[in-house]
Amino acid sequence: MKFILVVYMCMAGACESVYEQKLYDTKELCEASGAEVKEYAMINFPQSSGEVYCLTEEEFKQYQDYFKINQDDA
């Protein structure tokens, strides 16, 4: 099973979701990279908020489908 690192970040009321093209072989490797991203964001963007997720490929597809549906409704 492969994992995708997804970062959801909000600054000044605007939120954005980004993800890495790289697939991680284990959830542990993905979470280690996620911890680095979180630490970097907390230092460089202290007024921001957000979440870091490690999703399977199926979970990521559901995540994308969910946001595509909600964007289409906007």
pTM over 0.75, yes/no: yes
The pLDDT score that the predictor gives to residue 34 is 96
* CA-based nearest residue to 50, from 66, 5, 3, 2: 5
Q: Which two tokens stand for residue 52?
A: 């870091």
pLDDT in tens, the chain (74 residues): 999 999 999 999 899 989 988 999 999 999 999 999 999 999 999 999 999 999 999 999 999 888 776 655 55
* CA-based nearest residue to 57, from 11, 35, 25: 25
The pLDDT score that the predictor gives to residue 50 is 93
Q: CA 22: distance to chain centroid?
A: 13
The pLDDT score that the predictor gives to residue 72 is 57
The pLDDT score that the predictor gives to residue 25 is 97
